[in-house]
Structure 1
Amino acid sequence: MDLNALREFTAIASEGSFAAAARKLGTPKSTVSKRIQDLEAALGVRLIERTTRKLSLTPEGALVLSRAKRILADAGEITRALSPADDGVAGHLRIAAPVLFGQSFMGQIVAVSRRVYPDLTIEVVLTDSQPDLVEEGFDAALRVGHPHDTPFVSRTIAQSHRVVVAAPQIVARKLEDPADLAGLPVLFHGVGLVHSWHFVNGRQERTVRLAGGVAMTSYPALKHAALGGAGVAQLPLYLVEEELAQGQLVEVLAGWQIPPDEIAFVYPGPQALTARLRAFLEMLENAFPDGTLHGGVLRSGM
């Protein structure tokens, strides 16, 4: 496949027209047009819909664009690897991350990346699904837990601790046993109004099955419901630290903890760990120096 054609295709997508792409690349418009025609012919699909007023990518074109960025970045990295004088981090990364994690942390991490590695471009897609990294053109993904049933490489970057909290008027004092939660209004994260909560206390373990009146698929919404006195909720510690410090929320159970969730960085295989992906992974690990989300960039400001 012609790298020049891929380069020109990505330029057309970013600039919005053949003429603008040609000007950016310093290539005659006729050459750009011919290469895109040849690329479409080679692939057997139309990549670009052309009208008199605008240009847009077809679904096939959008797929090729995501792959083309990675191919061009890899080609650039090969060139840099063969040039000892240049050890900079450059190219393009496409990363998937859970919605809440991304909203809470990725903006700060990407800001640091742009300062430290100005030649590295990053596309972050926030999704609570688990996209196929290879099929959907991702370099890596952040996931809650390890994907043990996949061939991907997985590396833990931090733990997310959760706490059971409520507004002070809901619980007069800390409960001694998880079973006591059954007497309180309970708020669930997820779907369904019957959930099992698991707790540990040293070597003791306890699972309680609870029925509640509210279930939501958003942790921030669940936090606001707890703040409003709707009931007891299980929430990420980093999300409620400020409210706990100010007394707007209180921890409900004495001595019992919820097993933490692992936040894993997942990529397709050892060969996928390029210099740019390694640099991004190091930034993620540096963002959480104590290995917990609540001790990370929200506290240190990176």
Structure 2
Amino acid sequence: MSAHQPRLQTIAQLIPPLTYNLHKGDCGRIAAIGGCEEYTGAPYFAASTTLRLGADLAYVVCEKDAASVIKAYSPDLIVNPYLRSTTNTDRSLEEIDEKLKPLLSKMHAVSVGSGLGNDLKIRESAKRAIQHARSLSIPVVLDADSLAIVAESPEIIHGYTNAILTPNAPEFDRLAKSLGVEPKKDEAPEIAAQRVASALDGVTVVRKGKSDIITDGVRLFICDEVGGLRRCGGQGDILSGAIATFLAWGERYKAGAWKHTAEIHENEFPMLAAFAACTITRHASFLAYEEYGRATQSSSVLEQVDIAFDNKFEEILKTVKSPKL
């Protein structure tokens, strides 16, 4: 199976063109599910990335002790302290379900895992969120600690082609081992990634690394956009938010929210969304490193997300027709 890169002109069809006829929510409602007492920055990065790219509403669903901290980071985020933890058991799992279901039903996409942590009760809450998202056919991005949920219970997303996993190298190896498809000696990473995606029956896998390998087991993209040299924590959360944004736009595209000049089949959305997000995140990392060098932090990368988006898509978007809203 040969790898190739999709045309950015094709991906641009998924991006909502801005007009005065748009209403709040037309450009996407997205939830970042994660955040515990120890890790509050991760869901902030994921959710804030969606706003930087142009989504209208960004929600964070987190553990109670993380909520006030995340609210203090930004007034633009809608923070819901619905995840149950070992130290906060004032809500039963059934009560959490009653909170999550109506919230998720409004979303165009969700990301799960940023700052989730190792608390078993938080993970159980997140697992239910994944199940609800799947039952509602909502696209979902799984990163970081949510990958442990998949490793323990792969059936939760097996065969769900609206799911994207974004493991780094160690996370990929653990996931592959849990699925019984450990990388073989001297096996090309592209082949290993394809075998994991195939074992999950069509789920898209983004194996992050020097180049990002994107595959659903059948198709294969390689994103080798130049990135920065810093590997500070949080860049994966930015990627998760970016993927969720393009997935949300795919849902709006599918609903016919705007006119387009090329027809994209919905089974192409996950691969295209992943490639677009990898391209933007890597370019934002490059721009941040060019400015800050060794002092680059993920907050530096977040500052560059909108600039990276403009660099890649601004000229292309001038050819996109106005929406029919």
Q: TM-score range by the shorter chain?
A: under 0.3
More helix as a share of residues: 2
More strand as a share of residues: 1
Q: TM-score, normalised by structure 1?
A: 0.23
